[in-house]
Structure formats: structure tokens, C-alpha cells
């Protein structure tokens, strides 16, 4: 498949000099996997919706005062997602390991949250002291769900088998998860304790190791920002406090890879996909802030 054959083309709608694979520091990899979704559907169309929205985004970042795209952002062809859960996870881990070995920064667009554990394992191989920052409404700490350990509802349980985690924005979990959490390698920041409050961001940063993988389930944000997700929960993080968290983590730790998952693209409401695209672009800007060239 040629690189221009997939729709709807490239993140940011960038000119060739900003989007060639050779020159890009960032690879955007669509993984439209949707197999174990338990409630609303539509995450398979998430990557296309995010990319389409991103083409309507200003490349000038008004907070950073820079054009983030100048570091080079290349969009890869979407991953084939027709495998059963276990071979799919093995395939994702293998492919991600190859991308990690290129030395470029990879931003994955989901798809459902079950894709995160193999992505984390691939990064952990290169960064053995890795920790994971999860932003999410859901703890995702079930050992199994619907008879499978590969469910989106088990994503963080699989992650903490690989490395420690910090979970932010949590406001939904089952009784077994609540009982298991204190025994697992994770620290939870419940939405009820942080939204609209100060002081917690420094605690999040202090809980992370030097090298961080970011997994951002868009349902961690308030449904006023992202109503179109499989399992929306009331409450949650607002826009500017989310940016402050990401900015602070990016400045004080090394974010080595990330995914944005669980956006449903099946909607006429463009705002959630646009918010997600802008969140991704802003986060890339934070991570590469020191390398962004002056405008003139
Ligand atoms: Mn979630």
C-alpha cells in the first residue's frame, strides 16, 4: 500500500517538507482496533476522525508561540486490525518494538484501550525503568473481563504486570478492582480529589519515574469536552488543568511514547475529534518544546 492510499491522509495535513518519514521526529500510527468494546462502539473510526479533524487545525500553537509541525510529523499506514485478540496483541508488540528501534517518537491513535499493554511492553524493553501515566475515567484493573485478559477493561492490570503506573482522573471501578488496587504497582488520583483543585500535579509527577509512557483515554476528560466515547462518565478533567498536567510532566520527565484511545468517530459532532487532535498536537509541542525552531 502506498503511503497516500489510506484515508483521510495525514495528521495535520502537513506539506511534504514537514511530513516525510525520513525527516520526521514523530510518527503517528493509527491502530483502529475494536474487538472487546463493552458498551458504545465506534472506536475503530477514531483514528480517521482525529486525522480528519487535525487537518482543520492551525499549525501555529498559540500557547507555545511555535509551529510544532516543524519537527516533522509523519503518519504511518493504519495497522491491520483483523486478528483475534491474543495474536493482535503479539503483532502490535512486535510492530511497536520495530518502531521504537527507529529512535523516532511514536504517537498511536486508537482504537480501544486494550492496545496499550503491548505498546507499553515494547517501550519497556528499551526503557527498563519506565512508568506509565494513564489519564482515564476507568481504572481498567480487572484481571479478566468477558472471559478474556485482553479486554479494554483489563488494560492497566496488564500494564502493571510490566511496570508501575499512575492513574489520573479515575471515577469508575468495580469492587474487585477497588480491593486489588492497593496491592498493585499503581497510584490512583481520583477525579473527586483533583478536579478544580491545586497541588496534585506535583504529586503525579513525583510518582512517575524519569521515563514515562503516556496513555490517554479520552473519557478521562469531562463529557462536556468528549461526549463521544464508548463508556462516558460524568465529572472528569477539564481542558486547562489537563494541559497543565501534560505540560508539567513533559517538562519534568522524558515522555518516550504515547497513545490516545477510545474516541468514537461515529458522530456528526466534530468537536470531540477536534479537541483530541488539538490535545495530541499540543502534547507533541510540550514534549519537543526545546527543539521547536524559532518562527522567523
Ligand atoms: Mn476509560
Mean pLDDT per block of 10 residues along the chain (296 residues) reads 52 95 97 81 93 97 97 97 95 98 98 97 98 98 94 96 98 97 98 96 98 98 95 96 98 98 93 98 98 92
Distance in Å, CA 132 to ligand 1 centroid: 15
Distance in Å, CA 21 to ligand 1 centroid: 32
Write the DSSP symbol of residue 16.
Answer: H
Residue 147 within a domain:
yes
Residue 51 within a domain:
yes
Residue 2 within a domain:
no
Q: What is the pLDDT of residue 1?
A: 36
Write a three-state SS string for 87-118: HHHHHHHHHHHHHHHCCCEEEEEECCHHHHHH
Strand-pairing partners, residue 259, are 108, 215
Distance in Å, CA 207 to ligand 1 centroid: 21
Residue 243 within a domain:
yes
Residue 59 within a domain:
yes
Residue 239 within a domain:
yes
Q: Which domain holds residue 80?
A: 11-291
Distance in Å, CA 17 to ligand 1 centroid: 36
Q: Which protein residues have a CB closer than 5 Å to ligand 1 (ion)? A: 136-138, 217, 219
Residue 102 within a domain:
yes
- In this prediction the pTM is 0.96
How many structural domains comprise the chain?
Answer: 1
Distance in Å, CA 170 to ligand 1 centroid: 9
Cα–Cα distance measured from residue 126 to residue 120, given in angstroms and rounded to the nearest whole number: 10
Residue 283 CB-half CA count within 13 A: 28
Distance in Å, CA 214 to ligand 1 centroid: 14
Residue 5 within a domain:
no
Cα–Cα distance measured from residue 106 to residue 24, given in angstroms and rounded to the nearest whole number: 11
Q: What is the pLDDT of residue 68?
A: 98
Question: Cell triple for residue 95?
Answer: 510492530
CATH at residue 87? 3.40.800.10
What residues contact residue 190 under an 8 Å CB cut-off, 6+ apart?
A: 170, 171
pLDDT per position as a tens digit, 120-161: 999 999 999 999 999 999 999 999 999 999 999 999 999 999
Amino acid at each position: 500500500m502506498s503511503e497516500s492510499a489510506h484515508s483521510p491522509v495525514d495528521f495535520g495535513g502537513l506539506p511534504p517538507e514537514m511530513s516525510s518519514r525520513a525527516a520526521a521526529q514523530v510518527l503517528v500510527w493509527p491502530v483502529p482496533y475494536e474487538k472487546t468494546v463493552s458498551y458504545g462502539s465506534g472506536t475503530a473510526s477514531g483514528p480517521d476522525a482525529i486525522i480528519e479533524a487535525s487537518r482543520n487545525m492551525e499549525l501555529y500553537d498559540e500557547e507555545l508561540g511555535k509551529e510544532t509541525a516543524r519537527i516533522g510529523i509523519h503518519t504511518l499506514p493504519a495497522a491491520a486490525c483483523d486478528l483475534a485478540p491474543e495474536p493482535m496483541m503479539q503483532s502490535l508488540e512486535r510492530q511497536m518494538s520495530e518502531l521504537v528501534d527507529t529512535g523516532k517518537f511514536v504517537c498511536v491513535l486508537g482504537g480501544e484501550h486494550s492496545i496499550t499493554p503491548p505498546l507499553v511492553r515494547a517501550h519497556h524493553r528499551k526503557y527498563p525503568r519506565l512508568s506509565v501515566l494513564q489519564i482515564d475515567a476507568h481504572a481498567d484493573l480487572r484481571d479478566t473481563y468477558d472471559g478474556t485478559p485482553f479486554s479494554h477493561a483489563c488494560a492497566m492490570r496488564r500494564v502493571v504486570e510490566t511496570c508501575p503506573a499512575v492513574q489520573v482522573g479515575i471515577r469508575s471501578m468495580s469492587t474487585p478492582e477497588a480491593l486489588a488496587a492497593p496491592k498493585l504497582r499503581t497510584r490512583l488520583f481520583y477525579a473527586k480529589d483533583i478536579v478544580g483543585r491545586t497541588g496534585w500535579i506535583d504529586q503525579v509527577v513525583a510518582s512517575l519515574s524519569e521515563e514515562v509512557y503516556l496513555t490517554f483515554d479520552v473519557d478521562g476528560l469531562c463529557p462536556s469536552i468528549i461526549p463521544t466515547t464508548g463508556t462516558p462518565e460524568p465529572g472528569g478533567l477539564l481542558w486547562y488543568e489537563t494541559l497543565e498536567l501534560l505540560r508539567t510532566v513533559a517538562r519534568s520527565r522524558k515522555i518516550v511514547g504515547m497513545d490516545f484511545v477510545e474516541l468514537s468517530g461515529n458522530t456528526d459532532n466534530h468537536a470531540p475529534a477536534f479537541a483530541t487532535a488539538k490535545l495530541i498536537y499540543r502534547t507533541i509541542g510540550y514534549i519537543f518544546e526545546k527543539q521547536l525552531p524559532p518562527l522567523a
